[in-house]
Amino acid sequence: MSDNWSGEAHVQGLLAFEAALARAEARAEARAGIIPAAAAEAIGCACQVADFDVPALFREAAVAGTPAIPLMRMPTERVAEDGCGYVHWGAISQDAIDTSLVLQMHGGLDFLTEGLRSIGEACATLAERHRDTPIAGRTLLQQALPIPFGLKAARWLALITRQLARMREARARVSVVQLGGAAGTLASLGAVGPRVTEMLAEELGLAVPDLPWHAERDRVAEVAAALGVVAGAMAKIAGDLVLLAQTEVDEASEAAAQGKGISSALPQKRYPVDATLVRASARLALGVVPLLLAAMELEHERAAGAWQMEWEALPALFGYTAGAVARDALAGLDVVAVRMRANLNLTRGAILAEALSMALAAKVGQQAAQEVVRKLTERAMREDIPLLRAAEQDERTRAVLSSEALVRLFDSQEYFGSAGIFIDRALAEFRALAA
């Protein structure tokens, strides 16, 4: 991802724009282009990033206030006689810069898609493998009900699948060429402007936007928001992993690696390093998103500040999001099923209070059932006995539920509801999208 947003990559994009523009202008009219074909060819030859001194260009750009002006001068200097008068014909700096940013966003979205797909695979593997591994479902960090660990993984998977869909949509939305000329009218190209735009888009594999969008940045804001949602998704999964890895919970820990997550002074510890750094990266990404939303408020036909900020903000946002996606804390996750089961027993069966309550409710009504179970739970906790024992000793319960029924109730394997259906659904949707 850092290559994708380097100075070289940006200059490459600028040059791709210039070369494509020249070709488009040479092809734009049926009989003859608005610039000579030979000029387009000469420009195409000159637009090789390797021939440019990129650091020097950016030094000049810092003075000029824009990278495009010094960068445009240089191909001009390099283009042979018959082409040099036609470089950048009718375009303005922002046309080149925005189009280059679009090409970079493309690359960035592809990188993220790849990373998400790989994380999705890891989730899918966990969802399948742990379809029947019970773990405590936790609400407000209190044990609520047993769920299969595979359902937890399936929910992460569904989250990833929805991000993959979002990346695809964002890519489609933002893949439009920018060509408006000095103030968005394409006046410099006379009547042939829309035709050149079409040719240019075709050359670069982009679409033609409804209108030039130099001063209406909702497409960029939308991509930023989509990355923010991806970062949030990564943070959700990483946060769960950090909590599962707590010493007192110890239900999952990251794959070990040489020198990873150790503490010299405290040899007993193995830190969840990947999840920790994913959370750090995700926060950094989320810090950039509001800037790109706020950048929509800009002055007239080109911003004095908000647009220039994008040049830093977009690389930062893609870089941080990549940091959250590239570290796969799930691959090789060490799942400790035995601890999951042990933790489920911490409340001595109270985690299945709902199962008992629903079974009773079917016989005596919901309110009466909840009242009975509330009392049984209190008694079990007070006397530190299993809830099953308390239930077996309770007359009202025994009146409607047999001992076998009670024992079956307290086997968490039997109280997974629709979890299996949900797991299958998450797997199917991921497979369909990833295919």
Catalytic residue list? 263, 302
Inter-residue contact 108 to 100 (CB < 8 Å): no
Q: Does 267 bind a copy of itself (CB under 8 A)?
A: yes
**Which span sits near a copy of itself by CB under 8 A: 23-31, 41-49, 311-319, 392-400?**
311-319
Q: Which is nearer to a copy of itself, 38 or 84 (CB)?
A: 84
Q: Which residues are CB-neighbours of 420 under 8 A, at least 6 positions away? A: 131, 148
User: Quick one: which of 151, 174, 390, 391 contacts a copy of itself (CB under 8 A)?
Assistant: 151
User: Which of 51, 114, 378, 383 touches a copy of itself by CB under 8 A?
Assistant: 378
Of the residues 115, 150, 228, 315, which one makes contact with a copy of itself according to CB under 8 A: 228
For residue 194, give the nearest of 204, 205, 180, 206 by alpha carbon.
180
Which of 284, 336, 400, 433: binder of a copy of itself (CB under 8 A)?
Answer: 284
Q: Is 181 left (phi over 0), alpha (psi -120 to 50) or beta?
A: left
Please, what is the minimum distance in Å from the beta carbon of residue 260 to a copy of itself? 5
Task: Report d(CA 59, CA 57) in Å as an integer.
Answer: 5
Question: Which of 7, 36, 232, 386 is in the footprint of a copy of itself by CB under 8 A?
Answer: 232
Q: How far is the CB of 306 from a copy of itself (least distance, A)?
A: 7
Q: What is the dihedral of CA 327, 332, 337, 343, to 10 degrees?
A: -20
Stretch that binds a copy of itself, among 11-19, 102-110, 299-307, 400-408 (CB under 8 A): 299-307
User: Using CA atoms, how far apart are residues 394 and 372, in angstroms rounded to an integer?
Assistant: 9
Mark residues 44-63: x for contact with a copy of itself by CB under 8 A, - for none.
----------------x--x
Q: Which is closer to a copy of itself, CB of 10 or CB of 155?
A: 155
Q: Angle at CA 257, nearest 5°, toward 253 and 260?
A: 80
Alpha-carbon distance of 6 to 26, in angstroms, equals: 30
Q: Which is nearer to a copy of itself, 206 or 419 (CB)?
A: 419
